[in-house]
């Protein structure tokens, strides 16, 4: 991990134990969905511990607003733990002032991958690979609206509530999150 323009980072966090409780480490990335109309871009935020896609945004361009909306949705839906870390690559959208402001307003710290180190953001890359393999590359989308609906349906209707993950004991992300939150609440009460 490297500090980028004074951004708050945690040394080695994504590969260490920052993500051992829900909503402490969020990983993020952007991918594209091909359609006959042109590209549809998807920004997603995934909880590193539970594998839940906690926030996402889609646009027909790479305006920095795409990465503002995804963690904004995550913060609204999941209430990040104090000091939660948002980890991404060093893409230009993640360096925008609006993005930094969104994280600060949600009390989320920003972290970025080391240049050229794909393993630093492996959890987000894995999520995007799953999205591309399962709903996207199996279909040919005529319109961005059609692709957007397919991605939405996949994330909210299958990935989060149904798709099992070996890394969380072969449970669906939302099922694992429910258990993890119960355990976190119990351990904090003790």
Helices 65-78 and 97-105: crossing angle in degrees, nearest 10, is 10
Give the single-character DSSP code of 86: E
pLDDT in tens, 123-145: 999 999 999 999 888 899 999 99
pLDDT of residue 13: 52
| pLDDT reported for residue 38 | 98
pLDDT at position 91, please?
Answer: 87
Q: Top-level CATH class of 13-189?
A: alpha beta
Read off the pLDDT of residues 84-96 as tens digits, 9 standing for 90 and up. 999 999 888 999 9
* pLDDT score, position 3: 39
Separation between Cα atoms, residue 109 and residue 21, nearest integer Å: 16
Q: Any idea what DSSP says for residue 47?
A: E
Question: What does the alpha-carbon distance between residue 51 and residue 33 come to, in Å, rounded to a whole number?
Answer: 21
Task: Name 87's Cβ contacts closer than 8 Å, sequence gap at least 6.
Answer: 13, 14, 25, 26, 27, 28, 48, 111, 112, 113, 120, 121, 124
Query: For residue 27, how many other CB atoms are within 10 A of its CB?
Result: 26
* Model pLDDT, residue 2: 40
- pLDDT in tens for each of the 190 residues of the chain? 343 444 434 444 544 445 578 999 999 999 999 999 999 999 999 999 999 999 999 999 999 999 999 999 999 999 898 889 999 998 889 999 999 999 999 999 999 988 767 677 899 999 999 999 998 888 999 999 999 999 999 999 999 999 999 999 999 999 999 999 998 766 665 5
How far is it, in rounded angstroms, from Cα 20 to Cα 116?
26
Q: Return the pLDDT at 186.
A: 63
């Amino acid at each position: 991990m490297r500090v980028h323009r004074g951004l708050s980072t945690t040394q080695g966090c994504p590969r260490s134990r920052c993500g051992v409780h829900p909503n402490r480490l969020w990983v993020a990335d952007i991918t594209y969905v091909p359609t006959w109309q042109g590209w549809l871009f998807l920004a997603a935020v995934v909880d590193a511990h539970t594998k839940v896609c906690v926030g996402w945004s889609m646009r027909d361009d790479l305006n920095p607003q795409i990465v503002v909306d995804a963690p904004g949705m995550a913060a609204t839906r999941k209430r990040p733990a104090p000091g939660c870390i948002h980890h991404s690559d060093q893409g230009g959208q993640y360096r925008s002032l609006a993005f930094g402001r969104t994280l600060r307003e949600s009390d989320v710290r920003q972290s970025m991958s080391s240049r050229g180190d794909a393993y630093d953001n492996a959890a987000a890359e894995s999520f995007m690979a799953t999205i591309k393999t399962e709903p996207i590359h199996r279909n040919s989308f005529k319109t961005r609206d059609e692709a957007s609906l397919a991605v939405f349906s996949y994330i909210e209707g299958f990935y989060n509530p149904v798709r099992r993950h070996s890394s969380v004991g072969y449970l669906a992300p939302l099922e694992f999150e429910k258990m993890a939150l119960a355990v976190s609440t119990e351990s904090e009460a003790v």
